[in-house]
Amino acid sequence: MSCQHQLSKWRLDDSGLQHRPDRRVVVRTALGAGAAMAGLFTPGAAHALTPEKLPATLVGAISPRKGVVPWDDLATVEAPIGQKPQFSAAVTKLNGRAVVIEGHMMVLDDDNPINRFLLTAYQAHCPYCMPGGFASIVAIHADHPVPVTDKPLTMRGTLRLLADGKSQLFYQLDKAALV
């Protein structure tokens, strides 16, 4: 599956997520976002929104619920550059098991409904600025097409840890279905 548009080229397949952004668009977007942010906040307000003090709900974080794998658990993965990822014991126990994950849909294709997409811990406002990095993304491989939405989704499927080091992603949900 692949997606091309004016901003970049995305491809999600069994080897993982691959992305090639248009550098000119990235620079223009960064400059525009910086100028917009500078005009929105007074110096005191900007200081109050440092990454350490930024409310998780401001970036679309989903509150933990019983029976749903917490994104905080998935974020415990350690992946030094050039090495295979190391998962916590709690996450390793979930490998190959049916789990429920709740997150935001990030599409890579123009189709609707779709079988393959990304589920993210935070709502993606920009494809270049994903808070949380790759530990906050799960590749979804759904059995049946899922309608595209900007509302949070709850998905059930078999969690697979991508520990081979070939993929940029760490997690995949196979045989996924909407709950």
- CA pseudo-torsion sign 68, 73, 78, 81: positive
Distance of alpha carbon 12 from alpha carbon 71, whole angstroms: 21
The pTM of the whole model exceeds 0.75? no
pLDDT band at 46 (very low <50, low <70, confident <90, very high): very low
Distance of alpha carbon 114 from alpha carbon 133, whole angstroms: 23
Q: What is the pLDDT of residues 156-172, one digit of tens each?
A: 999 999 988 677 889 99
Nearest-CA neighbor of 19 among 134, 140, 136?
A: 134
Phi, psi of 3, rounded to the nearest 5 degrees: -140, 130
CATH architecture of the domain covering 2-178: Beta Barrel (2.40)
Q: What are the angstrom distances between the C-alpha of 54 and each of 45, 60, 89, 131?
A: 11, 11, 29, 11
Q: What are the angstrom distances between the C-alpha of 179 and each of 24, 74, 93, 101, 145?
A: 40, 20, 22, 10, 13
% of the chain with per-residue pLDDT over 70 = 63
More confident residue, 135 or 164: 135
Please report where in the chains the tokens 């350490």 appear, as a residue. Answer: 52
Distance of alpha carbon 48 from alpha carbon 41, whole angstroms: 10
